[in-house]
A = this chain, B = another copy of it.
């Protein structure tokens, strides 16, 4: 398991959570798969074991992984079956935040959706550009 960690930008534990979560919801990791041990991942990523432990704790709270003491950490059962609902739950706080901001600016839902669509296209364009149209 190779993670890309940077000391600037978001907190380390958050980067770990995001990257592992993505591998689970995108199918790169399957139910029952064992994650690296806390110490193992900590060493390979050059961070403190506590930092990895915190990331794993969050993933457990989200219901994505299951920890078995003295054995290891595994992708939790149901991580693929309920994935649609799960993803809705995970994105909910972010959705709420942008809605509240929009309301505070007097932006209607339609306007918000329009801008969302527009920015989405732009982000996609930037991404393919950055990746040199790989794939």
State the A residues within 8 Å of B (CB): 18, 21-22, 25-26, 87-88, 90-92, 94-107, 109, 111-113, 115-117, 119-120, 123
A95 and B92 in contact, given A22-B106, A104-B18 (Cβ under 8 angstroms): no
Do residues A87 and B104 form an inter-chain contact, with CB atoms below 8 A? no
| Oligomer copy total | 2
Do residues B99 and A116 form an inter-chain contact, with CB atoms below 8 A? yes
- The distance from the CB of A26 to the nearest CB of chain B, in whole angstroms, is 5
Do residues A116 and B116 form an inter-chain contact, with CB atoms below 8 A? yes
Do residues A94 and B98 form an inter-chain contact, with CB atoms below 8 A? yes
9 A-B Cβ contacts within 8 A?
A: A22-B106, A88-B115, A90-B105, A91-B98, A91-B107, A95-B98, A95-B112, A99-B123, A109-B116
- The distance from the CB of A89 to the nearest CB of chain B, in whole angstroms, is 10
Main secondary structure, interface of A, reads: helix
Do residues A91 and B115 form an inter-chain contact, with CB atoms below 8 A? yes
CA distance A22 to B105 in the complex (A): 6
Additional pairs, 20, CB under 8 Å, beyond known A21-B104, A94-B101, A97-B97:
A18-B104, A22-B106, A87-B105, A91-B102, A91-B105, A91-B115, A92-B115, A95-B98, A95-B112, A95-B115, A95-B119, A96-B119, A97-B98, A98-B116, A99-B116, A100-B123, A109-B116, A113-B113, A113-B116, A113-B117
